[in-house]
Structure 1
């Protein structure tokens, strides 16, 4: 479900519903932030879906894909893995390998953990010619009318840079996310998935109040006053998208401009000053600006340069 981390496009109000597809969500284990493997496999066998879709917008840990893909293939379902948020981690060998773990097709954004222009990729290693034709027609004329060649050129450069620097970038992203989760917990925040050391991806989740309390929305607003941009987010138990209890935090941009695990301690302290000790956001904002001023150069690329040209 969306509250458990599913993407809104997988919901009834998104692409699934717009195409008139029936939707059944997987049972979820909140403490591990992953599907209940046995219950989800049994659900797949009972419902016999055409598509078993895996992937999240809150994506802390690899999906137990091999077990669930096996159940899907037993009933003739195609397995789709939405790697929008974690494509760069997959390409950098820091997450999982969906196509080798049972996925028939994998989609992914080219502008999240994979650091390229706005857009995406669709990948499959299927040798089923009919399936290949269906994928091609689903793209054109299904959802796209043009390749947008300026994006193709940008993706080519991003792919070349990622081949050279991507493994280091993905490794450092995961290290920074783990460090941020640990540091936030040490500052007194309720960081989800403590039993799994908080994260194995680029994201960290924090809960700031009771379900549907709006505490996540309020925390995001206060942090913005302090010069820190975050994403309010539904967490397990929330039912209202506009008054969630949590925040979803990501570290790719901080990593891309050269921050490391030591700086994650500083970031966590800024959070604590704003949300726990209740300091004046204006004072914190000045300190945040001074801190960020030391990190203004894009890293992990052929030619480093200003990260924010024209904004200095």
Structure 2
């Protein structure tokens, strides 16, 4: 690829991103009470949120249904073509149906709209055409109109599908917010993923037990620290006072830095060269707290204490990988 073609590619990419970003910002500025009413309708829905759309709108709809379901709102996607062949039986009068169609003229949606209204389900439509039949026949219509597509031909849904996706995400997040949906709630619907594990796994669930944690007394020597680090293989050793409270930490990195110094390993006091006030975490905290603490302080291991500040365990990045929480 020549420099000229590479430059043109980057310019086109930036243009696409800028167009789509501008359309989303324009959409944000147009939000009104219709959006608030849509949030309230979903929030007070006694049934489920059923999302439907054809083509690219269908792909957006599947993602939206998944987002609602994972954030505390029972939801599923219904293909409009399959709906007229029996799947309408999945809809009840307690449900809210969200239709997505950029034109607002999708025949597949319009053909099932009267049946859904007879069932008694409430309809929210997200379209790019406020004058469309779908918009007029819905209980609540949300405009996802865009002034231009990112596609230079103006044919492929690009900015319009992005706008619908962003508007749908805004709906789901506002409903989540008003439900007071918590990280623990999220984890219950994501038990198999690292995101969920981070919210339910406690530090004590993955930490190494105290008998496997390198630990030396505060009056120990550097030679004792080297031996303890080597024996336990955690990459560091805790230094504790007579009450088993960690007052320092000495890592293999600290050891390497000491190699350039002329010191006597059998005489050098660990208290003089240890890192004082080591970072610790309580054993009953969730693991995401530990991950954030380690990321913020750029450390690879951490000491675990109980609520009496006594050393009870430790772990490093390898333990986090092994537990599949990162």
TM-score by length of 1: 0.25
Give 1 or 2: higher helix fraction.
2
TM-score by length of 2: 0.24
